[in-house]
Amino acid sequence: MTRKVFLVLSLILVSPVSLMAQGYAPAKVARGLYIFSVEGGCGCHNPEGQPANVGGAKRENPYVLVFAPNITPDPETGIGSWSDKQVIDAFRFGKRPDGQQLSMGHPYYYFSGMADEDAEALVAYLRSLPPVKRSYPPRVVKKPVPVYDLPTPPVKSPSDGPERGRYLAERVGKCNYCHGAPYESPPDMSKYLAGRKDPARLNPNITPDVETGIGKWSVDEIAHFLRTGARPDGSQAGSIMANLIKKGLKDITPEDARAIALYLKSVPPVKNKP
């Protein structure tokens, strides 16, 4: 991502005076917006037709029944009373300020490897949005949420090439969260990105396997799909992927889309048809 991208976004989307008053430089907020976009726009917290980040999506797994919380800066029903560190600890390590562990519906296993600079920028962006007062029923815990060893996050994110692609795919875009092991268990790396079938949708195999994955796709075709949802055969992405593209991935830079594509072409192919 270039300095030019940050500058253009900051000039269009934020007020330098108001953001500097909050202690966040416009470039930092713009970087946070970009990370938010590559993540797919935090879909669970952004239901269609509602104000940004108000939450509300219902999620249920063997551990908990929960509604995606309000992550606007509202001090009573959102994250307005949390410190920046508390916000980062929540989305990156699954720890709420009150000590509770977040449900496995939130992919903190993947976000735990997000670089410090990107996590801090994401918080700056979340702080820049209007506060909205919106609350939901408390979560219902069915059984204790397991605690896992989490990756140590880097201070800085990789700048280019397949390593940046891996970082964006694993630690920002969390591809394996949908295309790999179920979120309610530690990732089964033997099926990394090999797809799975959920009750509500099919999550395809995105390894380079030529029969059951995307092995026949070129790097350019994968990169184009990430930004537009258009497959090589002319069909369009549907379901959650279409939503992720609409809410953020459409704004990924061509360079970063290509980096992710290069990384996806480099992972071991797994023969698996969900």
Cα–Cα distance, 5 to 34 (Å, whole number): 9
pLDDT level of residue 3 (50, 70, 90 thresholds): very low
- Domain membership of residue 78 (yes or no) is yes
Q: Are residues 124 and 166 in the same domain?
A: no
Residue finishing a domain among 141, 175, 195: 141
Tokens of 166: 């891996």
- Domain membership of residue 44 (yes or no) is yes
Task: Please give the pLDDT value at position 7.
Answer: 39
Which positions ≥6 away from 95 have C-beta within 8 Å?
A: 89, 101, 102
**What is the mean pLDDT of the segment spanning 66-85?**
94
| Cα distances (Å, whole numbers) of residue 97 to 11, 67, 82, 102, 265 | 34, 18, 7, 11, 40
- Domain membership of residue 156 (yes or no) is no
pLDDT level of residue 147 (50, 70, 90 thresholds): confident
- Domain membership of residue 119 (yes or no) is yes
Domain ranges, residue 187: 161-266
Alpha-helical (H) ranges within the chain are 3-13, 16-22, 26-39, 84-93, 108-111, 116-128, 161-167, 175-179, 219-228, 239-247, 254-266
Q: Are residues 136 and 8 in the same domain?
A: yes
Q: Are residues 167 and 115 in the same domain?
A: no
Give the 3-state secondary structure percentages of the chain, helix then strand then coil, rounded to 5: 45, 5, 50
E strand or H helix at 141: strand 140-141
